[in-house]
Amino acid sequence: DWTMDAYKDIAIEKIREQVGDKKVICGLSGGVDSSVTAALLHEAIGDQLTCVFVDHGLLRKDEGLDVIAMFRDNMNLHVIHADEADLFLGELEGQSDPETKRKIIGRLFIDVFQKYANEIEGAEFLAQGTLYPDVIESVSFSGGPSVTIKSHHNVGGLPEKMGLKLVEPLRELFKDEVRVLGHELGLPASFIGRHPFPGPGLAIRCPGEITRQKLDILREADAVYIDQIRKHGLYDDIWQAFVAILPVRTVGVMGDGRTYDFACALRAVTSVDGMTADYYPFSHEFLGETATRIINEVAGINRVTYDITSKPPGTIEWE
Ligand code: XMP
């Protein structure tokens, strides 16, 4: 794509002009936006960039390892792996209110990010993967009524607090353009095409109280579900797909025995921008096969349901 190739060169020049020989910190989540931001900055300023990857213990199966392997080992980026699962899960213990959970995670995320960023001596810039729709959204919401359905956590206000200047090289781009740019930068297609993943991670796919046991079960079930979707060639037709573990145990039979395990819900939606969404019309065969696999392969789940709520009136996530 020659237009994006040209855009890339211009963006790199702009970054070099803005940053000079100063150091830049970039929060890496493993999502498309922050990954492309990091790759672009790396190409522009090389070793002047340090990434901080905050692992809150609410990531999917093998996600932390995958992100580190990709950026540190394959792309030679300097990545600090902030493994703070104990801190996050400790503070979340006993909390079941969705907004409280989000606020705890958002606050700790900023604390942790700041702690690790402070160790990077002489940094003057903070890079963020803000997209054009984010820019418009924050403008149009600022004067309007303060109706918040979910307080999406981000690192808003952090740059000022830390005395850092912002670098936002994706500010003029839409999501599909970011993907093309990522491709130009050599990121693998599997990474670029990943479904969006929310900042609070599995916390909002585990309605009610979060426990390590529930998270482990959820990670396994989600991995089987995504494997099924990939095997059936459906991944790219879907905007987001995930499992939510429900805060309820149900009775089942397996072999000669009675089981009393968690129920889970499969979620899959199509969407253009996440603002509205339709549930994905899987075939009954697919759903049946997936339910059987999850119950057979994941200890701790004995019942699988499919969420057929569209947005509105539902939201994509369960909390
Ligand atoms: P909802 O559930 O509000 O989700 O229909 C719409 C899109 O936003 C994502 N989402 C979040 N992303 N922090 C994030 O960074 C959050 O707290 C959050 N809540 C929802 C969700 O995954 C979907 O893509």
Residue type, 163: G
pLDDT at position 154 is 55
pLDDT per position as a tens digit, 200-251: 999 999 999 999 999 999 999 999 999 999 999 999 999 999 999 999 999 9
30 is in an annotated binding site: yes
32 is in an annotated binding site: yes
Q: 152 C-alpha to center of ligand 1: Å?
A: 7
Percentage with pLDDT > 70 across the chain:
93
Pocket of ligand 1 (CB under 6 A): 102, 150, 152-153, 196, 198-200, 204, 240, 274, 311, 315-317
Ligand 1: residue whose CA is nearest its atom 22: 198
Task: Indicate the range of 156-160, 175-179, 221-225, 262-266 predicted with least confidence.
Answer: 156-160
HSE-CB of 62 using CA atoms within 13 angstroms: 7
* DSSP-based three-state secondary structure for 279: strand
Q: CA dist 313 to 16, 206, 278, Å?
A: 46, 20, 10
Ligand 1: residue whose CA is nearest its atom 4: 316
pLDDT at position 169 is 96
pLDDT per position as a tens digit, 115-157: 999 999 999 999 999 998 888 766 544 444 344 455 554 555 6
DSSP annotation of 236 reads G
31 is in an annotated binding site: yes
User: Domain spanning 211-306 has what CATH number?
Assistant: 3.30.300.10
No. of helices (H) and no. of strands (E), the chain = 11, 9
Q: Residue 51 — φ and ψ, nearest 5°?
A: -100, 145
Q: 317 C-alpha to center of ligand 1: Å?
A: 6
- Name, in order, each residue with C-beta under 8 angstroms of 60's C-beta and a sequence gap of 6 or more: 197, 201, 202, 219, 222, 223
Mean pLDDT of the region 68-86? 94
Q: 9 C-alpha to center of ligand 1: Å?
A: 32
**Cis amide leading into 312 (omega within 30):** yes
Q: How many Cβ atoms are within 10 Å of 189's Cβ, its own excluded?
A: 11
Q: 304 C-alpha to center of ligand 1: Å?
A: 23
pLDDT at position 282 is 98
Give the C-alpha separation, 67 to 64, whole Å.
5
- Name, in order, each residue with C-beta under 8 angstroms of 317's C-beta and a sequence gap of 6 or more: 150, 198, 204, 205, 244
Q: Which fold has domain 2-192?
A: Rossmann fold (3.40.50)
**H/E stretch holding 253:** strand 240-254
Q: Do domains 2-192 and 211-306 have the same CATH topology?
A: no
For residues 101 and 200, the answer to whether their CB atoms sit within 8 Å is: yes
Quick check: 280 pLDDT over 80?
yes
Domain assignments of the chain as residue spans, ordered by start: 2-192, 211-306
User: What's the Rg (C-alpha) of the chain?
Assistant: 20
Give the C-alpha separation, 37 to 212, whole Å.
32
Q: How many Cβ atoms are within 10 Å of 73's Cβ, its own excluded?
A: 10
Atom of ligand 1 minimally distant from the CA of 275 = 6
Mean pLDDT of the region 181-202? 93
pLDDT per position as a tens digit, 13-58: 999 999 999 999 999 998 899 999 999 999 999 999 999 999 999 9
